Structure 1
Amino acid sequence: MTAQQDRVWTPWRSVFAFGIVSLAADMVYEGMRAMAGPLLGSLGASAFTVGIVTGAGEAIALALRLVTGRMADRTGRYWRLTFVGYAMTAICVPLLAITPFLGVAGLGVATTLILLERTGKAVRSPSKSALLAQVSKSVGRGRGFAVHKALDQVGAFAGPLLVAAVAAATGHLWLAFAVLAVPGLLSLVLLAQVQRRTTLSDEAAPAPAIGEQREPAKLPLAFYVFATSCAAGTLGLMTFGVISFHLVDAGLVGVAVVPVIYALAMAVEAVAALGTGFAYDRWRARVLYCLPVLIAIVPPLALADHLTGVLLGVAVWGLATGIQDSTVKALVADLVPSSGLATAYGVFAAFQGGAALIGGALSGGLYRDHLTLLVALVAGLQVLSLALLVITRRAVLRAEP
C-alpha cells in the first residue's frame, strides 16, 4: 500500500467524519439559536425585533441556497464553499460574546453576526450535501445521510445544553457564546482532514480550470415532481412552534416542560433518520410512502386536548421531520446528475422554505377556530404528496437499468 493510499479514508470513515463536523458545527449554531432571543433582548431588542431578525435569518438560510447551489456546480468549488460556510458559523457565533460590551452598537453588531451566520449556513449546505452524496454512494446514500443526520442531532442536543450550563454556572451569557469557539474550531480542523483524506467517486465532475465555469446539469422533470411532493408534505407539517403554543395554551404543561418535549422530538427524529435511511438502500423510494401518512395524522394528535395524544403527535412529528431532513436527500441524489447536485439541493431547499412559511401561517391561522378544516386540508395535501411520490418512483424505475 502506498503512502497516498494509506492517507485516504474509507467511505464509511469519511461519512462518519462529515457527521462529526456537522455535530461540532451544530453545537455552535444551535447553541446560538437557543439563546439568540435572550441575547437580543438583553441588548435592547423588542419581541418584534427579535422575530424579524430570527425570521430573516431563517429566510436567508433557505432562499440563498438557490444562488450558492448553482454557484457550486458552476465553479466546482464544493470543498471551498463548504469550508467558507462553516468558517462563517465558527467565527460569527463566538463573536456575539463581545456585543454586550459595545454599548448602543451592540444590538446592530449582534443582528449582523446572526444574519451572517445564517448566510454561512446557506453557503455551505448545497455543497456539503453534494459532497456527502458522492462520498456515501458506495456505502448507500440512505445510510450515509442517515448516519450524518443522527450525528448532526447529537450536536443539536449538546449545543443548547452547553450554553445553558455555562450561563447557569457563571451567570454570564456572553461567556457561553465565547465557549462555542471550541467546537467551532474543531469543526474546521476536522473538515480540513476530511477534504485531505477523502476521494470522491469517479462520476464527480472535476472542478473547471481557473477562470472557467461550467453549466450545471439540467434538473430532470422527476426532480421537480419530487420537490413538489415534499413541498406539499412540508406545507402540511406544522411547525413545533404551533405545537408548543398549544401545549401551553391548553394548559397541558408548563412553559419549562416544553424544551423537554422538544428534546424528545429531536431524539425521535434521529432514530427516524437512521431507520428510514438504512431501509432506503434496500427498498428505495417505497420507504418514503410512509411520509404523507405520518404528516396527515400529526394535526389530530398534536392538537388534541389531552397530553397523551399530544405527546404521541410530537413523536409522529419527529418521525416525519427526521425523514424529511435526511432520507429525502438520498432520493434527490438518485434523481439528479452529480454535476447538478448542489443546484438541486438549493432548489429543493427553496421549495421547502416556501412551503414551511405558508404552512406555518396556515396552521397558526386555523388552529384556534377551524381545527377540523386544518385537519382536512393537511390530509388533502398529503394525498397529493403521495400521488406525486408514486409518479417519482415510477420515473426512477424507468431510469434504472
Structure 2
Amino acid sequence: MPGPTAMNPWRFVVGFGVVSLLADIVYEGARAVTGPYLASLGASAVLVGVITGAGEAFALAGRLVSGALTDRTRAYWPLAFGGYTLTVASVPLLGLATGLWSAGVLVIAERAGKAARSPAKDVLISHAAAAVGRGRGFAVHEALDQIGALVGPLVVAGILVLSAGDLRPAFYALAIPGVAVLVALARLWARVPNPAAYEPAVRTTETATVPTRLSSQFWTYLTFAAATTAGFAGFGLLAFHLATHQVVPVAVIPVVYAAAMAVDAIAALLTGWCYDRLGVRILIAVPVLTALIPPLAFQDNAIPAVVGALLWGAVLGVQESTLRATVADLVPAHRRGAAYGVFAAGSGLAAFAGSALLGLLYTRSLTAVVSVTAAIQLVALLVFVGGGTFGARVKRGATAL
C-alpha cells in the first residue's frame, strides 16, 4: 500500500485522469481541425490521408519501442512527461507553421508523443488502480479522458466563431491547457515518485521469479482483443452513412458523436465496477454488443441508427478501460510496459485493418458488413470461451491484490 508520503490512490487515479482530460482538450481539439488546416496549406485529400495515417502509424507502432524501453529503463515518469511535452508543444506550434511539410511533421510529432507516453502512463495508472480495483481505476480515468475529448473540439469551435474561421488562434489557445497538463503531471510526479508502492510487495518484486517473456495467456487475450476490434466499425464510417443517406442532418452528427462519448464514459464506469466484482467473464459482452452495431447503425431510420451509434460508444468505453485493465492483471509489473505497447499496437492495427475492410464492404453491400462483422465477433467469442486460461490468471491476479 502507499507509503506515508504518497497521496491516496484514488486521488492519484483522478489526478492522472485530469492530466488526460487536459491533454485531450489539446490534441482532440487540434485533430478536429487538422484536415482543414492542412488543406489550407495546400494539401490534397490524398496528402491529408497520408499525413494523418502516418501519425496514427507512429502512435501505434511506436508503442512497441516505447513499451520495451519502459520496462528496460523503468523511467515511467520521464517517458510520460516527455511524451506529453512533445504533444502539447507540437499543437500550438502548428499555428506557426508556414509550410505544408512543417505542419505535417508537427502532426506526426503529436502522435509520436502519444506513442512515447502511453505504455508508461498505463503502467503508472495500473499501480494505483491495484489499490482501488483495476476495473474502477481504469474506468474513472477513461471517463475523465472522455470529458476532455468532448471539451476540446467545442473549445476550438468557439474560437473559430470568434476568429471568423481563422484556425491559427485555435492552435495558440490550446497552449493554455497544454501548460496545465505539464504542471499537473509534475505535481503528481513530485507527490508520488514511486507509484509501484501502491501494490503489495508480492506484485512489485516479481522480477526474480517470473519469466521475462509475455505469457501464453496474454497472447490469447490479445488475440481475443484484436479479433473483436477488427470487427468494430469506426465512427467515421457510421457518420458517413448518417450523412450520405440523410439519416439525420449533418449538423446533428457531432451531437450524436458527443452523445456516444457520454455513453462511452458511462459504460466504462459500469463495466469497471462489474469487472472488479465478477472478473474477466463480463468481457464476453463485447463481441456480442459489437455484432449488434452494424444492423442498427446502418439503418436509414434515425432511431435505430442513433441507437447503433450509442452502442458503438458503449463498446468503445469498454475497449478503452476494462480491456486495458485486464492487461495489468495478466502481466507482471516488470513487463507491463512492453505488454501495453504490444497490446495497443496489436489491437490498434487490427482495428485499422477491420475498419478498412468494413469500409470496402460498405460500398458493396450492407448485408456483407453485417455478416462479416458477425463472423469476426463469433471468432472473438470462440477465442474468449476457449481462453479459460487467461480468465483463471486474471482471477488469481485479482485475488492476489
The one-character-per-residue Cα deviations of 1:219-273 (angstroms, maximum 9, x if unpaired) are 1111111111111111111111111111111121232222111111111111111
Aligned-pair CA distance for 1:204: 6.4
2:83 is aligned with 1:77: no
> What is aligned with 1:167?
160
Alignment of 1:11-30 (within 5 A): 11-30=9-28
Runs (5+) with no aligned partner, structure 1: 209-214
TM-score in terms of structure 2 length: 0.92
> What is aligned with 1:116?
109
> What is aligned with 1:48?
46
Match for 1:391 among 373, 376, 386? Answer: 386
> What is aligned with 2:175?
181
What RMSD, in angstroms, separates the aligned Cα atoms of the two structures?
1.8
The one-character-per-residue Cα deviations of 1:152-178 (angstroms, maximum 9, x if unpaired) are 001001111111111211223111111
Name which of structure 1's ranges 189-198 and 76-85 shifts more when overlaid on structure 2: 189-198
The one-character-per-residue Cα deviations of 1:177-216 (angstroms, maximum 9, x if unpaired) are 111111111111111111121242345659x9xxxxxx99
- 2: CA distance between counterparts of 1:395 and 1:369? 38
The one-character-per-residue Cα deviations of 1:65-120 (angstroms, maximum 9, x if unpaired) are 01110110011111110000000011110111112xx3xxx211111111001000
The one-character-per-residue Cα deviations of 1:256-315 (angstroms, maximum 9, x if unpaired) are 222111111111111111110111100110111110110011111111121111101001
- 2: CA distance between counterparts of 1:252 and 1:300? 14
Aligned-pair CA distance for 1:393: 4.2
> What is aligned with 1:211?
none
- 1: CA distance between counterparts of 2:172 and 2:371? 47
The 1:43/1:319 distance shift into structure 2, 3 A limit, reads same
Q: How many residues align?
A: 385
Contact preservation (8 Å) 1:70, 1:216: no
Name which of structure 1's ranges 89-98 and 17-26 shifts more when overlaid on structure 2: 89-98
> What is aligned with 2:319?
324
- 2: CA distance between counterparts of 1:277 and 1:123? 26
- 1: CA distance between counterparts of 2:121 and 2:203? 14
2:174 is aligned with 1:152: no
> What is aligned with 1:279?
274
> What is aligned with 1:87?
85
Aligned-pair CA distance for 1:352: 1.2
Residue aligned with 1:264, SS: helix
Contact preservation (8 Å) 2:94, 2:171: yes
Alignment of 1:263-342 (within 5 A): 263-342=258-337
Contact preservation (8 Å) 1:57, 1:115: yes
Contact preservation (8 Å) 1:61, 1:118: yes
- 2: CA distance between counterparts of 1:392 and 1:78? 31
Match for 2:57 among 53, 56, 59? Answer: 59
- 1: CA distance between counterparts of 2:183 and 2:204? 25
Contact preservation (8 Å) 2:25, 2:152: yes
- 1: CA distance between counterparts of 2:37 and 2:86? 19
Residue aligned with 1:238, SS: coil
Contact preservation (8 Å) 2:9, 2:132: yes
Aligned-pair CA distance for 1:372: 1.7
> What is aligned with 1:212?
none
> What is aligned with 2:252?
257
Contact preservation (8 Å) 2:220, 2:390: no
Tell me the amino acid that sits aligned with residue 51 of structure 1: G
Tell me the amino acid that sits aligned with residue 88 of structure 1: L
- 2: CA distance between counterparts of 1:368 and 1:108? 33
Tell me the amino acid that sits aligned with residue 189 of structure 2: Q
Aligned residues: percent identity? 48
> What is aligned with 2:341?
346
- 1: CA distance between counterparts of 2:256 and 2:25? 19
TM-score in terms of structure 1 length: 0.92
Contact preservation (8 Å) 2:63, 2:341: yes
